[in-house]
Amino acid sequence: MPFQVGMTLQRTFIALELPSDLQNAIEKETARLRELITSACVRWVPVHNIHLTLKFLGDSSPATIEMLKQLLSQEALTHPTFEISIRDLGVFPNTRRPRVIWIGLVAPPSLGSLQHAVDAGAARLGYEPETRPFSPHLTIGRVRENLSTAELQTIRSGLDGCKVGSIGSARIESVHLFKSELHRDGSVYTKLFSAQLMGTAVSEGGLS
């Protein structure tokens, strides 16, 4: 995204938020996995940070953030609420070279339609369009780099020893703009703006 020197930039992304009861269900269902695979091998995502990313934006200027709010408000008016189901466990790119541990989800075509609209709208604002097919998932852990063969085997064994079935479902009613800040103890996500699907926009934290 183009910007001028001296601008105050915020690292942003657009995502869908999970209700707290579903986050808690994910934490409960993956507790055994976190025991089998320690944080020495995987950086586990705090349960309150688990979300479904529609578009990672990166550095955004204040003026562009205002345009992103308008984009979400406009798209929310033409996209309905929908139900998602959370289930299954997987890795990217594969179990031989795991980089990301995720939980899958089942959703109607309206999720893909919303993601496509958000990506196209962001591209009109100057952000790079996505080149990879949209693969909805919830990242729960990121494998650390430069692990030994034994550590990688620990991850594979942990994944084999922990089966995750159906966790729960939720109705998605809003789409959100977040900023991400990196702190010593991990990333902190702050909601900047929310737009209710098929409804009116709602600001967060006094921002409009």
pLDDT tens digit string along 12-56? 999 999 999 999 999 999 999 999 998 889 999 999 999 999 999
What is the distance between the alpha carbons of residues 144 and 85, in angstroms, rounded to a whole number? Answer: 28
Q: State residue 153's pLDDT score.
A: 93
CATH of the domain at 80: 3.90.1140.10
- Within a domain: 118: yes
- Within a domain: 22: yes
- Within a domain: 2: no
- Within a domain: 1: no
Q: State residue 161's pLDDT score.
A: 86
Please answer whether residues 100 and 141 qualify as being in contact, where contact means their C-beta atoms are separated by less than 8 angstroms.
yes
pTM above 0.85, yes or no: yes
Average pLDDT, the chain: 90
pLDDT tens digit string along 168-179? 999 999 999 999
- Within a domain: 177: yes
Q: Residue range 144-151: average pLDDT?
A: 92
**How remote is the C-alpha of 121 from its chain's centroid?**
18
- Tell me which residue range forms the domain holding 121: 10-203
- Within a domain: 5: no
What is the tally of structural domains in the chain? 1
- Within a domain: 20: yes
- Within a domain: 119: yes
